[in-house]
Structure 1
Amino acid sequence: MKTLVRFIVGLGAVLLPTATIAACSIALALTVDVSGSINEREYRLQMDGLAAALRDPAVADALVASEVALMLVQWSGAPRQEVSVPWRRMSSHNDVEAFADLAERAPRAWAVFSTGIGSALQFTAAQFGEVSDCAHKVIDVSGDGYSNEGPDPMEISQGLALQGFQINGLAIEGDEFELTAYYKHNVVAGEAAFVFTAETYADYPRTIWRKLLSELIVPIS
């Protein structure tokens, strides 16, 4: 009789419905160039523009609807990368506001060093072990210059694409000649990867907003 009871209890445990866990559609790492070519005003335009874009109702709704995991990384020369805001799940609009607030208040990590895009990609990709349940792995790279230190960014990005990453770019034009073309050929990778262009730092807030909408609302193949 005891054996029969144990069997029935065990069968009930198997048949009882379990709580549904919301799926994470996208793990999105936002990486920001803070190398020596960027002055304090330009740094603020990046951080304030990013925070404003995240708070936009359409962006915030998309983040929550897809249970997006977000992380913010600052990067400069080859040995200099820092997680400014660790992975956070966007399960509610309060989560989005909290992330935007942390991004807006994040102190600048460096101000006088080189530009190591390949190293930034390596560092950022290594953080994705914490969000392995997310269906898509996306790294956003924004910057205003060519890589001049560390590994070749094209070699790194192509290797990451083979591992299922999508690397998108936001090229801030200015001192460097044809930076958008450089990003297209050396930074972005993955089947649906793309580059958006900010003609100046003043264009950055609108450009990052458009870029986030494209990543979150247009399905990623």
Structure 2
Amino acid sequence: MRFLLSPLAVLISGPVVACDLALALAVDVSGSVDAEEYRTQMDGLAFALNDSVISEALVRARARLMLVQWTGVSRQQITIPWTTVDTFEALDAFAGRVANDPRVWRNYSTAVGEALETTMEAFAEVGDCTRHLIDLSGDGPSNEGIEPKALHPYLRALGITVNAIAIEQSEPDLTAYYYENVIVGEGAFVVTASGFADYPERIRKKLLREVTQQNAALE
């Protein structure tokens, strides 16, 4: 026998909310990033994810989050695979994994193109999400491998937006480089951190801008 829900039961249960945001967090672990700076990035990112406004928006969006560590050619690794954060407990657990994620590489070059390519390919697993976003942080321009701009047509075709945070510790023109060569997609933007000490607050503001846009779309 088939059991049919009454109109009242359907109204009470409400619609099933799908994933509205797939967000890949791509963190620079190249040779120019020392151990303390690596820790600043991971702790700052975890802190930002636990911001009350950011966390509420991510949970409401049933977001899927992923962490990528990247450096030179052939050295990009998804260290935390796609994780659904549809509860505050799930988001807290993800933020905790970020804070404790061990560094994979040291002392290698900066291959922004390969970082984008590796991250881009992983979005095949989250095709049901409404928005696809790569949040890339780095402290230098690409100095080996695929030119990041060469990937822009593929990122556009897949509907993936790339935003970036430029850590201008030793590269004062990095923001301009990221604007010209890295970011892509409607509304894409770069946030500037003057150094690693500035990173935690800047990444919080960056995520707030990104997920608040998504939150507004849910209204």
Q: Which residue of 1 aligns with 2:207?
A: 212
Higher-Rg structure is: 1
Q: Which residue of 2 aligns with 1:94?
A: 89
Distance 2:158 2:33 in 1: 31
Distance 2:43 2:3 in 1: 55
Moved over 4 A (4+): 9-13, 15-20
Q: Which runs of 5+ in 1 are unaligned?
A: 1-8
Secondary structure of 2:55's aligned partner: helix
TM-score with structure 2 length normalisation?
0.91
Aligned-residue CA RMSD (Å):
2.1
Q: Report how many residues are paired.
A: 212
Distance 2:3 2:88 in 1: 40
1:61 aligns with 2:56: yes
Deviation at 1:11, TM superposition (A): 10
Are residues 177 and 158 of structure 1, via their aligned partners in 2, closer, same or farther at CA, if it must alter by over 3 Å? farther
1:123 aligns with 2:114: no
Q: Which residue of 2 aligns with 1:195?
A: 190
Q: Which residue of 1 aligns with 2:165?
A: 170
Tell me if the contact between 1:161 and 1:167 (Cα under 8 Å) persists in the aligned partners: no
Q: Which residue of 2 aligns with 1:148?
A: 143
Deviation at 1:197, TM superposition (A): 0.5
Secondary structure of 2:31's aligned partner: coil
Percent identity of paired positions between Structure 1 and Structure 2? 45
Q: Which residue of 2 aligns with 1:6?
A: none
TM-score with structure 1 length normalisation?
0.90
Q: Which runs of 5+ in 2 are unaligned?
A: none
Distance 1:212 1:173 in 2: 19
